[in-house]
Chains A and B, each alone.
Chain A
Amino acid sequence: MAFVTNQSSNDVSVIDLDNGKTLKTIPVGGKPAAVAVGPKGAHIYVVSPDSKTLSVIGRDTLTVTKRITLEGGPFGVAVHPDGRRVYVTDWYNARVFEVAPDTGQVLRIIKVGDSPAGIAVTPDGSRVLSADRDSDQVSVIDTDSGERIATVPVGERPFGVTIDTTGTRAYTANVGTNTVSVIDIANARVIGQVKVQERPYVVALTGGRGFVTNQYADTVSVFDLETLQPVGTIEVGEYPEGIIPSTDERRIYVANWFSNTLSVIDTQTLQVTAEYETGDGPRAFGAFLLAD
């Protein structure tokens, strides 16, 4: 199942990825953009920047079971693998909220760079990375101490940040320079750069390749994660944004904000094999896939 945030229609489309059918449309409100499916898929977290809300959706009922208000400009969201901590960037106030979803309490507030957008947690839960868009950097946060322990200068205006399954490398999509920066997380430094197309949004990783949505080019750039060389370019819908691989690595799903569709890409042939309908203005910024 995919949980696609529809910013213009103010809801979340729950889409069956086997057949493209919308199983349910969940009203959320507040122009939702970012989404993160929690560990084991029991809860899905959605951030609505206009209403300053973190909504918790229960998988069993597919309804909003809790709304947590976060004062400021809540935007990106990621969940700690222990499921007890949710991290939300505050776009306007250069910080990250650490929220306990059970109680709705803000546990800690961590200072980062300007306009943090995307956020991701390492698979072992030890680090949180925020893409600080207007500081052209990534902040590395130690989740034990709740302190920022490093900043990594990347390309201009990083928006999405994605961490690989081993927690070794992270990848930012840099809107200002049309590049992807490759970060060695342990050493907090950039070890490579990939040229992509106009207005990259976020990177997805699967099968040894990176897939990057390019908002203005209406394409997905594909590159090899070892050599960092381009592999191909795939035409998708207009304004592609959120992108995520299937767990079996055979497909990649792309939300097209202007077209109101979800493109399905075969990761072997790099062809679009289907287009599914979404609500109005799908963004799906984050980990929007729930494995069955």
Chain B
Amino acid sequence: MNRRAIIGALMALPMISLPALAHGPSRQKITLTAEVAAPPEEVWAAIGNFQDMSWHPVVFSTEGVGGNDINATRVLTLGKEGGPTIDELLYKYSAEKMSYSYRIEKVDVKVLPVTNYSSHLTVKPRDGGGSIVEWRGAFYRGYPNNDPPEELNDEAAIAAVTSVYKAGLDALTERFGAAN
């Protein structure tokens, strides 16, 4: 999926207002990985800064405070200047383990149809050389009650997060080469 198509998919959802902190009954989880040729240190150097998400093709800009300290925040602007934004907060960071965990503090469900979203990004050494980049997410669907509309159901939430992860991981594979 190219960049425009992803933004299109994210933007195509209708606006709906939701009570804060509410969610549907069943939390979803996904894990996507990419195996790349570059060593973990090199990959981590590119993606390990919470304040720089420029490696992701959908992210236009990253603005934040607090560096890589716990409770650091960032605002991702998607697509273009003035595009939709996602507010995120860092709650775990380990340069040693090459892993950080963050959650979404604020996003419109028309941008990403999820609530209570948290995520982990990790780089690990790969057997036989190169790295494994693992991106995990846990979240509830965008609609907090029973009988969600199609665009805010569990499947829509999984599809949207999957497309974001896939776009990011595909970009890393392109940049660092696929592992052999």
Contact = CB atoms under 8 A, between A and B. Distances in A.
Interface of A: 7-8, 31, 33, 49-50, 73, 75, 91-92, 115, 134, 157, 176, 198, 216-217, 238-239, 257-258, 281
Given A92-B145, A198-B91, A258-B138, A157 B21 contact: yes
Contact of B25 (A50, A198, A239, A258): A50
Interface in B121-178: 136, 138, 145-146
B97 to A, nearest CB: 12
B180 interface: no
A256 to B, nearest CB: 11
- Majority secondary structure of chain B interface residues (helix, strand, loop or mixed): strand
B91 A216 contact: yes
Interface residues of B, number: 17
Given A92-B145, A216-B91, A239-B138, A33 B118 contact: no
B27 interface: yes
B146 A92 contact: yes
Contacts of B106: none
B51 to A, nearest CB: 20
A258 B26 CA distance: 13
B26 A31 contact: yes
B29 A258 contact: yes
- Majority secondary structure of chain A interface residues (helix, strand, loop or mixed): loop
B25 A75 contact: yes
9 A-B pairs with the lowest CB-CB distances in the bound complex, closest first: A49-B25, A31-B26, A216-B91, A258-B29, A198-B91, A7-B26, A50-B26, A92-B145, A216-B118
B101 interface: yes
A115 B22 contact: yes
A8 B91 contact: no
B2 to A, nearest CB: 31
Contacts of A257: 27, 29, 138
Contacts of B146: 73, 92
A258 B136 contact: yes
A216 B103 contact: yes
Given A216-B101, A258-B138, A134 B21 contact: yes
A173 B9 CA distance: 38
